[in-house]
Amino acid sequence: MTGKAITVTSGKGGVGKTTVTANLGAALANFGHKVVCIDADIGLRNLDVVLGLENRIVYDLVDIVEGRCRLRQAMIRDKRLPELFLIPAAQTRDKSAISPSDMVTLADDLRAEFDYILFDSPAGIERGFRNAVAPADMVLVVTNPEVSAVRDADRIIGLVEAEEKGPARLVINRIKPEMVRRGDMLGVDDILELLAVQLVGLVPDDENVLLSTNRGLPVVLDGKSKAGLAFRNIARRVMGEEVPFMHFDETGGFLNRITRLIRPGGN
């Protein structure tokens, strides 16, 4: 068995990397896979609280790398999802405590035991980003339907290719269908045309995400929420299934198609 390493990253901060990592991890585990989520955002630890495992941390990622504990000692098992594990980030250190090759070694040590090894990356294009993508077999870039987030996603997609980790796959998070319909939010078609990248997930803006984060229970475990369904779909696509994408922007998509008919040669 050789596990697949998947890194969740973005250019801009706050677009939903940690939320995507936690929910993708929980969904994959719920589908019966053995999953470890690793918080690579050193100094800004968050994956622990989103997963609701913050009270059980003893050791962290930097402790593993610096040899203060064994790998197994730093892994926290989720009691609700026994196939899900977390390796938390160090809170009082910075990105330079770890190198890209440390991350590669760590992933390789975990591949034998786990089906999926997920890395939650810090925002940005510096050391933390390079650490997080170094071990990746697949990179998910998260963005929001918003000018600066899309611009930064384009940068990151280019950097992922430059690190020979491409093609990156895109998650568009926090879509507000109503605004897209009014023509006041970039639609899925618009973003895909701009970024020319493969899509792996569309997640609506959903207040259940906040509610479940308050509780420390990933929203994907909430059977009814729209965001939960979106995350389960991402997990199935990662598992190799063909899952149709939800439609958020019927009208926008339709209008776009008409515009294309009117201006065939247009760019």
- How many CB atoms are closer than 10 A to CB 192? 14
Question: Would you say 22 or 229 has its CB closer to Mg ion?
Answer: 22
7 contacts which partner out of ligand ADP, Mg ion, other proteins, none, CB within 5 to 8 A by kind? none
> Within a 13 Å sphere around the CA of 48, how many CA atoms are in the beta-carbon half?
23
Computed from CA positions of residues 266, 147, 238, 161, in that sequence, does the dihedral angle turn out positive or negative? Answer: positive
13 contacts which partner out of ligand ADP, Mg ion, other proteins, none, CB within 5 to 8 A by kind? ligand ADP
Binding region for ligand ADP (CB under 6 A) out of 28-36, 149-157, 189-197, 209-217: 209-217
Question: Would you say 35 or 186 has its CB closer to other proteins?
Answer: 186
- How many CB atoms are closer than 10 A to CB 214? 10
| Peptide bond connecting 122 to the previous residue in cis, omega within 30 degrees of 0 | no
Binding region for ligand ADP (CB under 6 A) out of 12-20, 67-75, 77-85, 184-192: 12-20
Computed from CA positions of residues 18, 132, 237, 203, in that sequence, does the dihedral angle turn out positive or negative? Answer: positive
- How far is residue 64's CA from residue 103's CA, in Å, rounded to a whole number? 11
| Binds Mg ion (CB under 5 A): choice among 7, 9, 18, 144 | 18
Contact 98, 131 (CB under 8 A): yes
CB of 41 to ligand ADP, least distance (A): 7
Which letter does DSSP use for residue 191 in this model?
H
Question: Would you say 55 or 267 has its CB closer to other proteins?
Answer: 267
- Binding footprint of other proteins on the chain (CB under 8 A): 146-147, 150-151, 154-155, 158, 179-180, 182-187, 190, 194, 196, 252, 263, 266-267
Binding region for ligand ADP (CB under 6 A) out of 15-23, 98-106, 129-137, 245-253: 15-23
Number of residues that bind Mg ion (CB under 5 A): 3
| Binds ligand ADP (CB under 6 A): choice among 102, 115, 152, 206 | 206
CB of 13 to other proteins, least distance (A): 18
CB of 125 to other proteins, least distance (A): 12
| Binds ligand ADP (CB under 6 A): choice among 42, 203, 221, 234 | 203
Residue of 28, 230, 18 whose CA lies nearest to 142: 18
- How far is residue 102's CA from residue 36's CA, in Å, rounded to a whole number? 17
Scored b (16 or more CB within 10 A) or e, 62-101 reads: bbbbeeeeeeeebbbebeebebbbbbbbbeebebebbebe
Joined tokens for residue 158: 């280019």
Residue 82 touching ligand ADP (CB under 6 A): no
209 contacts which partner out of other proteins, ligand ADP, Mg ion, none, CB within 5 to 8 A by kind? ligand ADP
Residue of 63, 81, 80 whose CA lies nearest to 72: 63
213 contacts which partner out of other proteins, Mg ion, ligand ADP, none, CB within 5 to 8 A by kind? ligand ADP
Angstrom CA distances, 163 to 1, 116, 158, 169, stand at 26, 21, 9, 15
- Residues in contact with ligand ADP by CB under 6 A are 10, 13-19, 46, 173-174, 203, 205-206, 209-210, 213, 227
